Amino acid sequence: MVYFEKLSFISFFSNAWKISKYKNNSDIYYIDASVSSKKILVPLLQSIGKNIYQINFKVTDIVDEDGELIRIRIYRYDLFEFKKNLFKNRAYKDLFHKSWNQNSILDYINKGLIDGGTNEVDSVSRMLYVINVVNWHTKKLNIKKSLFIVKKRPWFNLYQEYCVKFNITVIESKGDFFNFFNFKNFIRNYFFLYKFVKNIKYKNNKNNKINFNITNNKLFLEGRGDTLLDNNGMHSDFFWQQNSDFSINNIIYKHYSEEERDYFKKNGLYSINEGVYSNSKDFRNYNKPKLYFSKSFKQEHKVVKSLLSSYDLERFLYASLFKRFGVKVYFSWDKYSNKHIALSDAVHDCGGISANWQMAFDGFENTNCLINSDIVFSYSKFSNEIDKKIGSKIKYNVIVGYPKDYASALLKDKAIEIRSQLEDNGAKKIVFVIDENSSSDSRWHTGHDFQRENYSYILEKLIEIPWLGVIFKPKRSVNLRQRLGPIEQLLDKAVSTGRCYIYEDSGRHTTTAPPILAGLSSDICIHSHLSAGTAALECALEGIPTLLIDREGTPYSKLYELPKDKVIFQDWPSAIDSIIKHFNSPNGIPGFGDWSSIIDELDPYQDGMAANRMGNYLKWLIDGYDSGLEKDEIMANAAKMYKEKWGPDKVIIS
């Protein structure tokens, strides 16, 4: 059988002679197709007896023999194996230059080579995924061998090796997929042009006066767009500062509008505009990395060259910014791309320290989560073990517990208010439903239909049962109703009963309400995605019965140690049936929603003090700089103080 990654005139006719060798060449399948090929080529081929079909699949269809979603397995296993083989590859060895051994340049390259999700056309994970899609489809058709024609890619021989176990022959479509001029990549190679364009875009010029003292030592905070400065339990990038002794005057943050700038200034927060803060006086504290050229590996050369250009630009520009504003600590949540590695080196250029906090619960090894930082604030020893297994480089792993555990004490009154509102309209038992974001293309990520189930099943039950109440806290509420499509009418009907409530206020990107706010109003919490269990953990830590529905397939997660049919369910109908049975039983189902068997492994404290521990640790770092100490001594002193206060096993030093 013949398959195309993307069907087009060029990809078809340039490979026509190869296709003709296949016995079943009358049937051709494709994953994507150009507009012109759909309108002209497909009808033309059909007119001469060819059967042309687009493969119809969803991400949830592509599951392996163990019941694991392939998209998850790729990050948990396949990419680790691919990376091992990549480092042995001749192309990698031929391009390697000794300048990569400076600082964290090699780590930046290695992470960057396999970065990117399955929704990104050029990513390694996308290629591994579409190979698995073809394998899934050939099994459906009971086909023994197949030809897969794909876009020309670097490391192609590694994909050929990957395909062997599936009996798939993969070939490159040479000359296909026009390489249009990419202005963004072009200007990144020319510093002055990049500076000009970016400063024009963000209106960052000499007229933007910096209205704060830059002589004292500061922490640069890379946030998630949750700009709230009130300590009221809602999502805020400043939660660690609000719950500790760290002074807001020692933070620098980026604003993205005049309203944000004025709001921050009014509350004593120093903010700067997005843009380039470098001038002719700035210089590199390192040798600009290079690579060797090889005629045999032009594609690989292009990819590595782009990574080196990005590294150099990010490190140089942020080092300039950090120097200008007296930044000594770079603090971020983002470990999911290689950018944090360049910024870690940038703050080192200023004699500073890089620190990251664990935003999400990681229940299994994931290549995306590899981190390189001086200090990481982790939930637990289990989280630290995950970091070790995936090859993260961390000097001090500080165990702080779940960082948002302070919020419940601040939100109880609001939670009681919402519960009373639903009870006044007849609700006696309330279920909180946690959902995730969704994409319009269900081939690369869970689609809208998949997310609609998070609403439809429980809403239908609410309409049926007059004593049931439901609260929704969507991860992204801005486009919720658009994503719900026809389910919006059912939602409106449920809301009109007075027994359904939705948290819809949003920050720059995500809903401002934390999961625990809805959890505290409820009798049962349900997280409909076991692969992303952070919100469920937040509720379970408060002792609220919490269920997980593993509709995708994540059998290798730590959370699978929780009891089946009491915490873990495979689908919505079985979960709802058990919930109703639990509610109708005089004493409930014993152990229903109970996480006590593993909860201590996920957070050894459970005391509401994690944010305080983080903030005060960061304060000790700034205090060290204020005392004129060097960074290594500062980090050693902070670790010593933390161990004395919270226990000798709470800082893991590599």
The torsion angles phi and psi of 7, rounded to 5 degrees, stand at -80, 130
Element (H, E) at 418: helix 407-423
- Rounded Cα gap, residues 499 and 514, in angstroms: 20
What totals of helices (H) and strands (E) does the chain contain, helices first? Answer: 27, 19
The structure tokens listed for 331 are: 């603090």
- Other Cβ atoms less than 10 A from the Cβ of 291: the count is 18
The burial of 280, by beta-carbon neighbours within 10 Å (0-12 exposed, 13-18 middle, 19 or more buried), is given as exposed
Sorted by sequence, the CB contacts under 8 Å of residue 548 that are 6+ apart come out as 526, 527, 530, 533, 536, 559, 562, 567, 568, 569
In degrees, rounded to 5, the angle at the alpha carbon of residue 442 between the alpha carbons of residues 436 and 445 is 50
Specify the 3-state DSSP secondary structure of 18. Answer: helix
- Which residue positions in the chain have pLDDT lower than 70? 22-25, 174-185, 187-192, 202-215, 507, 509
Does the CA dihedral 165-166-169-171 come out positive or negative? negative
Q: Give me the sheet containing 393-399, strands edge to edge.
A: 270-273, 251-255, 218-222, 327-332, 353-357, 372-378, 393-399, 651-653
The burial of 306, by beta-carbon neighbours within 10 Å (0-12 exposed, 13-18 middle, 19 or more buried), is given as middle
What b/e string do you get for 130-169 counting C-beta neighbours within 10 Å, with b at 16 or more?
bbbbbbbbbeeeebeebbbbbbebbbbebbeebbeebebe
CA 78 to mean position of chain CA atoms: 18
CA 402 to mean position of chain CA atoms: 18
- Predicted local distance difference test score (pLDDT) of residue 451: 86
Beta-strand (E) ranges in 110-178?
146-150, 168-172
The structure tokens listed for 358 are: 């664990």
Look up tokens 């109440």; give the residue.
Answer: 469
- Residue pair 299/322 in contact (Cβ under 8 Å)? The answer is no
The structure tokens listed for 427 are: 């609700």
Q: Which long-range contacts (CB under 8 A, 24 or more apart) does 295-298 make?
A: 296/91, 296/94, 297/90, 297/91, 297/94, 297/95, 297/154
Q: Give me the sheet containing 146-150, strands edge to edge.
A: 51-54, 27-33, 2-7, 146-150, 168-172
- Predicted local distance difference test score (pLDDT) of residue 282: 84
- Other Cβ atoms less than 10 A from the Cβ of 441: the count is 12
For residues 651, 532, 73, 56, the Cα torsion angle rounded to the nearest 10 degrees is -160
- Predicted local distance difference test score (pLDDT) of residue 212: 54
Specify the 3-state DSSP secondary structure of 291. Answer: coil
Q: For residue 450, how many C-alpha atoms fall within 13 Å in the half-sphere facing its CB?
A: 24
The structure tokens listed for 570 are: 């495979």
The structure tokens listed for 504 are: 């819809």
The burial of 208, by beta-carbon neighbours within 10 Å (0-12 exposed, 13-18 middle, 19 or more buried), is given as middle
Give the Å distances, CA to CA, from 7 to 40, 48, 291, 449. 12, 17, 34, 27
Give the residue from 29, 88, 18, 90 showing the smallest Cα distance to 55: 29
Give the residue from 155, 159, 163 showing the smallest Cα distance to 87: 155
- Predicted local distance difference test score (pLDDT) of residue 505: 78
- Predicted local distance difference test score (pLDDT) of residue 19: 81
Specify the 3-state DSSP secondary structure of 2. Answer: strand
- Predicted local distance difference test score (pLDDT) of residue 25: 66
